[in-house]
Amino acid sequence: MSEGDRFSTAALRGRGVGPDNGEEVEAGGRPPAPVRGLPRRPQRFARSWPLQPTAVQLARIHARTWLVMSRWAGDQDAALLAIHELVENGVKHPTESVEGAVELGLLITEEEDLLIDVSDPDPKFADFDAAIAVEKTRGLGLVIALGGAITWGTPDPGRGKTVRVRMRPGKPLGLGQPTATVKSP
């Protein structure tokens, strides 16, 4: 199982480089030398913001900067729109009055897939099937139309839910067919 196939926000929390983050290390304790001109993969980004409307714009700004700097080969505009929709949903649609933060985790796998994880403190996802079946101009329907494969679950008990979108460079995954699945706790 590759690192990108695990459904866990813990895999996205590392910020540094080295063996503590699951990266391969050469003899002598040094990470392998990067190939000149190519970014090393996997690459991670993680950030959180209070559950406020400003989180949506902040997530877009930070994600844009990271995607450009990491030179992800996919459609960065589509990825940013997906991030916008997911963070906005996390801020706008809690089923109860919850406090806390919305967390954004990004991972570029060795295969160049982009995994977008958005976590919020509400463990419920009311009407998931209806949310992915709606028109393709907003919300999760738009994320699918942009080529995102959607899963969701509660990987960390007591910490809310995480919605994950997998985007691949090149041919979109989701055009014309739903690719959403539910992961049970």
Average predicted confidence (pLDDT) for the chain: 75
The answer to the question of residue 25 being in a domain is no
Phi-psi region of 134 (alpha: psi -120 to 50; beta: other; left: phi over 0): beta
| Residue 178: band (very low, low, confident or very high) from pLDDT cuts 50, 70, 90 | very low
Instruction: Please tell me the predicted confidence (pLDDT) of residue 23.
Output: 45
The answer to the question of residue 148 being in a domain is yes
Please say if the pLDDT value at position 27 is more than 90.
Answer: no
The answer to the question of residue 27 being in a domain is no
The CATH number given to whatever domain includes residue 57 is 3.30.565.10
Q: State the CB neighbour count (10 A cutoff) for residue 109.
A: 17
The answer to the question of residue 162 being in a domain is yes
Our count of domains for the chain comes to 1
Residues of the domain holding 71: 41-182
The answer to the question of residue 31 being in a domain is no
Over residues 10-19, mean pLDDT: 35
Check residues 106 and 7 and name the one with the higher pLDDT.
Answer: 106
Beta strands of 60-121 (E only): which ranges? 101-108, 114-120
Instruction: Please tell me the predicted confidence (pLDDT) of residue 117.
Output: 96
| Residue 99: band (very low, low, confident or very high) from pLDDT cuts 50, 70, 90 | confident
The answer to the question of residue 170 being in a domain is yes
The answer to the question of residue 15 being in a domain is no
Please say if the pLDDT value at position 115 is more than 50.
Answer: yes
| Residue 128: band (very low, low, confident or very high) from pLDDT cuts 50, 70, 90 | confident
Q: What is the pTM of this model?
A: 0.71
Phi-psi region of 169 (alpha: psi -120 to 50; beta: other; left: phi over 0): beta
The answer to the question of residue 85 being in a domain is yes
| Residue 36: band (very low, low, confident or very high) from pLDDT cuts 50, 70, 90 | low
Check residues 159 and 136 and name the one with the higher pLDDT.
Answer: 159
Please say if the pLDDT value at position 148 is more than 50.
Answer: yes
